[in-house]
Structure 1
Amino acid sequence: MPEQKVQATKPAYVVFTREKTLDQAELEIYWKKVAASLEGHPMKVLSGYGPYEVLEGDKTEGVVIAEFPSMEAAKAWYYSPAYQAAREHRLKGAVYRGILVEATTPRD
């Protein structure tokens, strides 16, 4: 019987950059609510507003990089009702750029 190759899922990364703060109070609400939105969603923060340097492009106020086990897992969290409720406050609180990217190897 030939051996079947199982397609392994690749990790995915959600990257948020905060471009401009609009309302600090709204961001405080967001940060309180976002923690609860992660319940049941496997996620690991790789960097949360740590030191950074902009090498190209416009300046930013901060960066968050989160790792999920797959693109599907990241989307399940992002589109969950709990995160969407928190997101409303993030949108009122600041201008962000959000990117979802799947891990690759040099040969992908």
Structure 2
Amino acid sequence: MVFTREKTLDRAELEAYWKEAPATLEGHPIKVLSGYGPHEVWEGESTEGVVIAEFPSMEAARAWYHSPAYQKAREHRVKGAVYRGILVEGTTPQD
């Protein structure tokens, strides 16, 4: 799962989200590979930050995203910033 923060709208709402979001991960098999680390945009519009998270399956990612706890926290995120969220299945490139 990849989330990019495109534009901050309300810093207080984002801070409320950041406070609530970690608790939503409890009981879900998630591994955060990168959380707002340094990044470079090589193509397309710039972005303020990137989060990359690994789940064992797309179903596991959906279970977390659609959980009542995350949906409650998400309300702050959508008020706080414009994000793009992408769920992508991990595959190995083939010739």
Same fold (TM over 0.5): yes
Q: Does 1:102 align with 2:62?
A: no
Q: Does 1:64 align with 2:51?
A: yes
- CA–CA distance in structure 1, aligned partners of residues 5 and 56 of structure 2: 24
* Unmatched segments (≥5 aa) in structure 2: none
What CA deviation, in whole Å up to 9, does each residue of 1:57-101 have, x standing for no partner? 000000000000100000000000000000000000000000000
**Structure with the higher helix share, 1 or 2:** 2
Q: Does 1:90 align with 2:77?
A: yes
Structure label with greater radius of gyration: 1
Alignment partner of 1:101: what SS? Answer: coil
1:4 is aligned to: none
* Unmatched segments (≥5 aa) in structure 1: 1-13
Q: How many residues get paired?
A: 95
**CA-CA distance at 1:105 after TM superposition:** 1.3
- CA–CA distance in structure 2, aligned partners of residues 29 and 69 of structure 1: 28
> Superposed, which structure 2 residues align to 1:47-62 within 5 Å?
47-62=34-49
Point out 4+ residue stretches in structure 1 off by more than 4 angstroms: none
TM-score normalised by length of structure 2: 0.97
TM-score normalised by length of structure 1: 0.86
Amino acid at match of 2:77: R
Q: Percent identity?
A: 81
Q: Does 1:37 align with 2:24?
A: yes
Amino acid at match of 1:43: I
Amino acid at match of 2:53: A
